[in-house]
C-alpha cells in the first residue's frame, strides 16, 4: 500500500474529486442563499430526501397513518442535496446542520423544528404514543439500539459507502477499514436478532425503523451494490428480520417518499396525501 500524501501544516479546503458527493460540503456552516421553504396544509411539514436517513421518518409516519392516526398526515417536500438545497436560508432555519431530514411540527401552541432523524423518531413516537415503550427496560433497550443505529450507520454510509461506491479512486486502506467495521456491525446485529424477533426485543419499535433503512437495505441488496462484497447472506438473522420489516406495507410506502431516482414506481417526489403514494405504487408490475 503506498501513501504519497503528506498533510500540510495547516489544512486548506482544496479537495479535488469529481464524484457527485465530493464537493457539496465546505468547512463553513450556515445559509448560502436566500430561499423560503414551501408550506403545505398539514401540521407536520417534512423537508427531506429518500435516503436511508430520510426513509426512517417517512416509514414511521406511514406506520402511524396505518394505525389510523389522522394527525400524522404530513406534507413531504424534496430537498435535493446534490443541488445544495440543504443550504437555503429556509432549510438552515429549521436545521442549522444542513442535513435532511428536518421536520416542523405546527400542531402545538408554538411550532417546533425537529432535526436529526432519531430526534424526529422520538418526537413522533412520543407525540402519538406508538413504537416506543412508555417506560422500563423495554424503553431503555429501544434507546440502546436507536442510539446504536445513529452512532454506527455513519461508518456504513459516510465511511464504507463513500469509499466503496462513490470515491473516484478505489483505495484499499479506507475500504478495508470500513468493510471490517460494517461486517463487525452486521455481526453485532445478527447476534442480537438471533435472540429476538425485532432489534430491541419482541416489539417492533423506532429502533427497527432507524436500523432497517441502513442495514436492512444493505442485506437486501438495495445499498451500494455491495451484497456480494460484504457477503450479506452469511448474516441469516439480519436477512430474516430485513425481509420481515420489508413486508410491512407502511415500510413499502415510506421508503419511496421524497425519492427522485430509481424506477417510476419508486418515486414519490413530494407527498401531500395518501393518494400521492397510491398512484405511484400502482405503477409496480
Q: Which residues bind ligand GSH (CB under 6 A)?
A: 24-25, 51, 53, 81, 86, 98-101, 116-117, 150
- Decide whether 144 or 196 has the Cβ nearer to ligand GSH: 144
CB of 97 to ligand GSH, least distance (A): 7
- Decide whether 53 or 88 has the Cβ nearer to ligand GSH: 53
CB burial string 152-162: b at 16+ within 10 A, e below: bbebbbebbbb
Residue 67, CA distances (Å) to 41, 43, 105, 201, 261 in order: 21, 18, 20, 21, 29
CB of 74 to ligand GSH, least distance (A): 17
Distance CA 78, CA 101 (A): 10
CB of 115 to ligand GSH, least distance (A): 7
Q: Quick check: 27 and 88 in contact, CB under 8 A?
A: no
CB of 205 to ligand GSH, least distance (A): 17
- Decide whether 223 or 251 has the Cβ nearer to ligand GSH: 223
Burial class (CB in 10 A: 0-12, 13-18, 19+), 87: buried
CB of 110 to ligand GSH, least distance (A): 23
- Decide whether 80 or 140 has the Cβ nearer to ligand GSH: 80
CB of 75 to ligand GSH, least distance (A): 19
Helix 117-128 vs helix 52-66: crossing angle, to nearest 10: 10
Q: Please report where in the chains the cell 447476534 appears, as a residue.
A: 191
CB of 116 to ligand GSH, least distance (A): 5
Cis status, amide bond into 101, omega within 30 of 0 = yes
CB of 156 to ligand GSH, least distance (A): 11
- Decide whether 98 or 152 has the Cβ nearer to ligand GSH: 98
Residue 41, C-alpha cell as written in the block: 396544509
- Decide whether 37 or 239 has the Cβ nearer to ligand GSH: 37
- Sheet harboring 44-48: ordered strands across? 74-78, 44-48, 102-105, 112-115
Tally of CA atoms within 13 A in the half-sphere of 227 that contains its CB: 12
- Decide whether 26 or 140 has the Cβ nearer to ligand GSH: 26
- Decide whether 162 or 271 has the Cβ nearer to ligand GSH: 162
CB burial string 35-72: b at 16+ within 10 A, e below: eebeebebbbbbbbbbbbbbbbbbbbbbbbbeeebeeb
Pairing of strands 44-48, 102-105: antiparallel
Amino acid at each position: 500500500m503506498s501513501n504519497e500524501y503528506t498533510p500540510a501544516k495547516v489544512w486548506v479546503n482544496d479537495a479535488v474529486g469529481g464524484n457527485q458527493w465530493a464537493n457539496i460540503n465546505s468547512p463553513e456552516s450556515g445559509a448560502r442563499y436566500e430561499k423560503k421553504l414551501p408550506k403545505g396544509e398539514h401540521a407536520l411539514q417534512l423537508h427531506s430526501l429518500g435516503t436511508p436517513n430520510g426513509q426512517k421518518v417517512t416509514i414511521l409516519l406511514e406506520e402511524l397513518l396505518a394505525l389510523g392516526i389522522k394527525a400524522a398526515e404530513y406534507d413531504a417536500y424534496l430537498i435535493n442535496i446534490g443541488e445544495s438545497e440543504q443550504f437555503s436560508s429556509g432549510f438552515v432555519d429549521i436545521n442549522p446542520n444542513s442535513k435532511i431530514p428536518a421536520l416542523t411540527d405546527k400542531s402545538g401552541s408554538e411550532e417546533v423544528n425537529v432535526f436529526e432523524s432519531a430526534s424526529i423518531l422520538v418526537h413522533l413516537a412520543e407525540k402519538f404514543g406508538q413504537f416506543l415503550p412508555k417506560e422500563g427496560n423495554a424503553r431503555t433497550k429501544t434507546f440502546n439500539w436507536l442510539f446504536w443505529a445513529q452512532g454506527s450507520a455513519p461508518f456504513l454510509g459516510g465511511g464504507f459507502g463513500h469509499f466503496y461506491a462513490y470515491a473516484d479512486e478505489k483505495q484499499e486502506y479506507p475500504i478495508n477499514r470500513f468493510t471490517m467495521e460494517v461486517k463487525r456491525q452486521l455481526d453485532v446485529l445478527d447476534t442480537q436478532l438471533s435472540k429476538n424477533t425485532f432489534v430491541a426485543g419482541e416489539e417492533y419499535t423506532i429502533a427497527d425503523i432507524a436500523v432497517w433503512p441502513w442495514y436492512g437495505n444493505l442485506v437486501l441488496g438495495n445499498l451500494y451494490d455491495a451484497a456480494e462484497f460484504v457477503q450479506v447472506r452469511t448474516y441469516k438473522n439480519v436477512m430474516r428480520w430485513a425481509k420481515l420489516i420489508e413486508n410491512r406495507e407502511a415500510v413499502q410506502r415510506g421508503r419511496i417518499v421524497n425519492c427522485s431516482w430509481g424506477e417510476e414506481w419508486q418515486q414519490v417526489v413530494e407527498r401531500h396525501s395518501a393518494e400521492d403514494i397510491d398512484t405511484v405504487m400502482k405503477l409496480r408490475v
